[in-house]
C-alpha cells in the first residue's frame, strides 16, 4: 500500500474530503477527521476506530494495525503500517473509521455495494460479539 493508494481509498468514501493538520494530510467527513497519513512518519497511516474495533483488528492483523501509544490509542486511534496493508483490508478499516465519524444523516452510505465484503462483515460481527461479551462479563 502506498500513501496515494491510502488517499484514493479514503477519498472514495461518501462525502470524504482531504484536509491537513500538523503538516500531514487528513481525511474528513462532516468536518471531522476519520483518517490521516504520514504521522509520525511517511510509513504510517492512522484510522479512527472504537477501542473494541481496534482490539479486534490489532489482534487479527498485528502486522498491519497497531494501537497508537498514548491516550489517543486508548480511544481507538490506530496506526496502519502501509507496507503491510492490502487494499481489501485497508478499504474495510477505512469504512469502519468513516462510519465511526460520519454524521448520522450519512451513516449507512459506507455500506454501498463494494465497500464491505464478507470478510469485513465477519470482522464486524466478531468485534460486536467481543464488545457484548466484555460488557456482559
Mean per-residue pLDDT pooled into runs of 10, the chain (137 residues)? 97 95 94 95 96 95 95 95 96 94 78 51 62 62
pTM comes to: 0.80
Distances (CA, A) of 84 to 20, 95, 119: 24, 18, 18
pLDDT score at 104:
87
* Averaged pLDDT of the chain: 87
Burial of 108 (0-12, 13-18, 19+ CB in 10 A): exposed
Give the residue carrying C-alpha cell 500531514.
24
pLDDT for 114: 46
The pLDDT value given to residue 5? 97
Please give the CATH topology (third level) of the domain spanning 3-136. Answer: 3.90.1150
Amino acid at each position: 500500500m502506498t500513501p496515494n493508494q491510502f488517499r484514493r481509498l479514503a477519498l472514495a468514501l461518501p462525502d470524504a474530503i482531504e484536509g491537513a493538520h500538523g503538516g500531514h494530510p487528513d481525511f474528513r467527513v462532516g468536518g471531522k477527521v476519520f483518517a490521516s497519513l504520514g504521522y509520525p512518519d511517511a510509513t504510517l497511516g492512522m484510522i479512527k476506530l472504537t477501542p473494541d474495533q481496534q482490539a479486534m483488528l490489532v489482534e487479527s492483523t498485528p502486522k498491519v494495525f497497531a494501537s497508537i501509544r498514548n491516550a489517543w490509542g486508548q480511544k481507538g486511534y490506530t496506526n496502519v503500517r502501509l507496507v503491510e496493508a492490502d487494499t481489501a483490508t485497508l478499504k474495510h478499516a477505512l469504512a469502519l473509521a468513516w462510519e465511526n465519524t460520519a454524521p448520522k444523516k450519512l451513516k449507512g452510505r459506507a455500506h454501498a455495494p463494494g465497500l464491505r465484503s464478507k470478510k469485513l462483515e465477519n470482522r464486524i460481527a466478531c468485534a460486536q460479539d467481543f464488545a457484548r461479551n466484555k460488557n456482559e462479563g
